[in-house]
Amino acid sequence: MDGGNKSLLILQVLSILKEYTDEEHFLTQKEIKEKLLSLYGVECNRKTVAEKIDALVFFGYDICKNSGGGYFLASREFEPSEISFLIDAVFSSRSITGKNSKLLAEKLSAFLSKYRRKKYNYLYKSDEILRTSNKQLFHTIDILHDAISQKKQVEFSYDKVFFSKGRQEKQESRHYVASPYFLVNNQGRYYLVCNNSKFDDIANYRVELIKNIKILETDAKPITSVKNFDKGIDIAKYVNENIYMMSSVPVDATLRLENENAVNVVCDWFGQNTRVYQKGSEIFADVRANESALVYWCLQYGESATLVSPSETKEKIQKQIENLSKKYK
């Protein structure tokens, strides 16, 4: 064998199989030998190529051979369908910049062969989606994960839009001190679930709006010391109850569904644990959700469902409808 480092040959063969083969594209020993020469300047014979492929198979790589003598890498770290799901999630996320969206999607697509990567040519449009302009996002996420693991408070500024002196401005100077508990992705937005040091309840902050974050020396407030969370927090339960990530107490509610199609809508939003049942000719659903989010949901899906109870929440919806009615008369 001439040229290159002999110890790297097995990695070079693996790289070629990853890049140039899949279930629809194969390379013979001769073609792999030719690519080793053109890509790495390495000359070797077919027997050496076969030995390296056998070694990779022995090491656990799923390399298959077809009837025509062609080899292909049959399985990878991620299946193509898994990569598609992840790339589409990244591409549609409004929490990261268009540039970061494109870079992250390209890193994910690198797990595929060059032929399968062609299907993601829409990535060049990543800048056309309305999304955050915050370039500190990944740094912020790293800091938050460190603070959560260290159980320390964080201080940050929040990119809140407000109106001042007849013009729209951004509030960046006000600093927040919070005890971070966990991060959650909800409807394409990334949220920090925490306790604002000035209050006694749980707060949700959009991570992409957080800037200039730093970890403080002070210990975070234990979640068990936060109002309504003396028994701790079930993250999955919290996310299911807070469908719009609004800060208010959860309530047990009953909805009357207008038709069978509304059942899917309710279960999509409130989870498969939603209790759906029939009384006479009417369909009902029992759900548990953050009250503010429930009010908002009922206004949004008023044609599909009507809140039956609790009466206090029902009254809040009625007041909202009355206020909206006045505005649009």
Answer whether residue 256 is part of any domain: yes
Same domain, 85 and 123: yes
Same domain, 282 and 321: yes
pLDDT classification of 217: cutoffs 50, 70, 90: very high
- Tokens linked to 249: 């107490």
Domain holding 263: CATH number?
A: 3.30.70
Residue 169 has pLDDT above 70, yes or no: no
pLDDT above 70: percentage of residues in the chain: 84
Q: What's the pLDDT at 247? A: 65
* Average pLDDT rounded to a whole number, residues 62-74: 90
Q: What's the pLDDT at 20? A: 93
Domain holding 35: CATH number?
A: 1.10.10.10
Distance CA 255, CA 308 (A): 5
Q: What's the pLDDT at 130? A: 42
* Average pLDDT rounded to a whole number, residues 14-19: 93
Residue 168 has pLDDT above 60, yes or no: no
- Radius of gyration, CA atoms only, the chain: 27
Beta-bridge partners for 321: none
Q: What's the pLDDT at 197? A: 93
205 and 192 Cβ atoms separated by less than 8 Å: yes
Q: Give the pTM.
A: 0.57
Distance CA 112, CA 78 (A): 8
Residue 283 has pLDDT above 60, yes or no: yes
Answer whether residue 101 is part of any domain: yes
Q: What's the pLDDT at 55? A: 94
| Other beta carbons less than 10 A from residue 175's beta carbon | 11
Same domain, 100 and 173: no
Q: Which residue has the higher pLDDT, 80 or 119?
A: 80
Mean pLDDT of the chain: 83
Q: What's the pLDDT at 122? A: 53
Residues present in the chain in total: 329
Range of the domain at 178: 137-233
Same domain, 36 and 116: no
